[in-house]
Amino acid sequence: MVVIHHTAMLTAEAALERLCSPDPPVGLPPVSCHYLISESGRLWQMVDEIDRGWHAGQGAWGDVGEVNSHSIGIELANTALHPYPEPQMRTLEALLPGILARWSIPPERVIGHSDMAPHRKSDPGPRFDWRRLARKGLAVWPEDGGAAPVDREQFHADLARIGYRRPEDVDALDDLMLWAFRLRFRSSLAEARTPLDGKDCRIARDIAARYPARDLRGT
């Protein structure tokens, strides 16, 4: 699979230094990714695709509980406070097709960091244009439609079918799962903290039916 991140650092150069540092700041683990894309669209390859990067951390997606060993990580230089610039998005759109072809990765396995770690991550965040990637066949997006009946149990069953994993030891996880789902499929700050609604249920039902998670361990 492919995991998309943001750096949450002021510049791409600062992120590059952190990603290349053999001695991370005290209390922080070593990190690495396969690719870094600057705001201007410059691309750095940090790790060979065949090799393991240290980008995902604790989390899971579908049957994969060790995401670093089964994914390619792409970091986008962004502070999370502004939209992703056009040159950066164009570079990402040029990069992804080759990765997906080389590793037989379908578009539903292009996910955000927040998808596989909803209890601790929010990137690439609500300003990332998932719909744009989906239009190019590089991610997935729900069909247009209205609302479904609000059914919390069915909603969480659909999330599990899509690939979201629910850690057992995290308080208030239902809210975090909903937040992560909305970051991915609704991308609206205005809707971020409202209760589960019929639009959430309809979108989850649609994605679960069309793109259920299968055995992801090979990709």
Mean pLDDT of 131-149: 95
Quick one: DSSP state of residue 27? Answer: T
Q: Is residue 92 part of a domain?
A: yes
Q: What does the pLDDT read at residue 35?
A: 98
Longest dimension (CA), the chain: 52
Q: Closest Cα to residue 163, out of 63, 65, 68?
A: 63
- Give how many domains the chain has, as a whole number: 1
Q: What does the pLDDT read at residue 15?
A: 87
Position 192 pLDDT exceeds 60: yes
Q: Is residue 155 part of a domain?
A: yes
Q: What does the pLDDT read at residue 193?
A: 73
Determine the 3-state secondary structure of 199 from DSSP: helix
Cα–Cα distance for residue pair 96/167, rounded to 1 Å? 30
Show the domain range for 146.
2-210
Position 161 pLDDT exceeds 90: yes
Q: Is residue 94 part of a domain?
A: yes
Task: Tell which wins on pLDDT, 214 or 92.
Answer: 92
End-to-end C-alpha distance for the chain, whole angstroms: 5
Q: What does the pLDDT read at residue 86?
A: 98
Q: Is residue 215 part of a domain?
A: no
Q: Is residue 217 part of a domain?
A: no
Q: What does the pLDDT read at residue 20?
A: 77
**Residue 145 is encoded by which pair of tokens?**
């439609």
Q: What does the pLDDT read at residue 24?
A: 67
> Could you tell me the pTM of the whole model?
0.92
Please state, in angstroms and as integers, the Cα–Cα distance from residue 7 to each residue in 1, 72, 173, following that order. Answer: 19, 15, 24
Q: Which long-range contacts (CB under 8 A, 24 or more apart) does 192-200 make?
A: 192/126, 196/150, 196/152, 196/155, 197/147, 197/150, 198/146, 198/147, 198/148, 198/149, 198/150, 199/146, 199/147, 200/155
Which residue out of 17, 39, 75, 191 is catalytically annotated?
75
Residue 66: give its domain's CATH number: 3.40.80.10
Q: Is 49 a catalytic residue?
A: no
Mean pLDDT of 58-79: 94
